[in-house]
Amino acid sequence: EPEVTQTPSHQVTQMGQEVILRCVPISNHLYFYWYRQILGQKVEFLVSFYNNEISEKSEIFDDQFSVERPDGSNFTLKIRSTKLEDSAMYFCASGGGGNTQYFGPGTRLTVL
Amino acid sequence: AQSVAQPEDQVNVAEGNPLTVKCTYSVSGNPYLFWYVQYPNRGLQFLLKYITGDNLVKGSYGFEAEFNKSQTSFHLKKPSALVSDSALYFCAVRPWGAAGNKLTFGGGTRVLVKP
């Protein structure tokens, strides 16, 4: 069964550094998403991406964040200058034009 | 704005007993409703969804959920819980409409099934 994959599983970085989180969505899906879950809190929407552009973003998704689909398979989330409060589990999800979003296993980002 | 409430942080149930995890929602218009499960160190795994039609929807691993429009609820149920059902369960909603709409999640309910 096709799955969403994410790399790395755990990323440790210093405050102020740039990080890129990578995702490979399910191959025939059209809609791509990033969510995050700060420890002990709700899963929060960050951004959705369709037809090579952002379709919606939350207030969390400020100028420090960007997304890209550099080729036909990868979907990346970049944080330009990480802050302590960016420490969270980041989930990528994809959807095929139906209504269900399928999530990857997540990348745990730790900002020191 | 849409929102989801899961009023119980944790539900404890004995193996073999019925399991219910509660969820209420608020959304403009008709809802699309989802349940996801998260096992330790794993991602969110889709269990089931309500889009339209029969109010009782069946999903993976013997789970089912009942949509109640008047009570704006979508409670998850399993007739006979297993120890392996112990996990974190999330209810989510999105408004009816474009497929790319974001999901809004509840805070999650931890289920502990004791042998």
Structure confidence by residue, pLDDT tens digits, B51-71: 988 999 999 999 999 999 999
Kindly tell me if the per-residue pLDDT of B35 is higher than 80.
yes
Q: Which of A42, A97, A106 sits opposite B105 (nearest CB)?
A: A42
Residues B24-45, mean pLDDT to the nearest whole number? 90
pLDDT for the residue numbered A73: 86
Residue B49 CA to residue A35 CA, distance in Å, equals: 19
Neighbours of A26 (CB within 10 A): 17
Strand partners, B109: B89
Kindly tell me if the per-residue pLDDT of B18 is higher than 80.
yes
Report which of B27, B30, B91 is spatially closest to residue B59, judged by C-alpha positions.
Answer: B91
Residues B14-28, mean pLDDT to the nearest whole number? 96
Residue A80 CA to residue A59 CA, distance in Å, equals: 16
% residues pLDDT > 90 (chain A): 82
B100 interfacial to chain A (CB closer than 8 Å): yes
Q: Which residue of B has its CA nearest to A42?
A: B107
Q: Which residue of A has its CA nearest to B5?
A: A42
Pairing mode, if any, of strands B31-38 and B44-50? Answer: antiparallel
Q: Which residue of A has its CA nearest to B44?
A: A103
Kindly tell me if the per-residue pLDDT of B98 is higher than 90.
no
Q: What's the pLDDT band for A56 if we cut at 50, 70, 90?
A: very high
Q: Which residues of A touch B97 (CB under 8 A)?
A: none
Is B102–A58 a contact, with Cβ atoms under 8 angstroms apart?
yes
Q: How far is B92 from chain A (nearest CA, A)?
A: 10
pLDDT for the residue numbered B95: 83
Kindly tell me if the per-residue pLDDT of B74 is higher than 70.
yes
pLDDT for the residue numbered B96: 79
Pairing mode, if any, of strands A10-13 and A107-111? Answer: parallel
Residues A77-82, mean pLDDT to the nearest whole number? 97
The mean pLDDT value of chain A amounts to 93
Kindly tell me if the per-residue pLDDT of B103 is higher than 70.
yes
B110 interfacial to chain A (CB closer than 8 Å): no
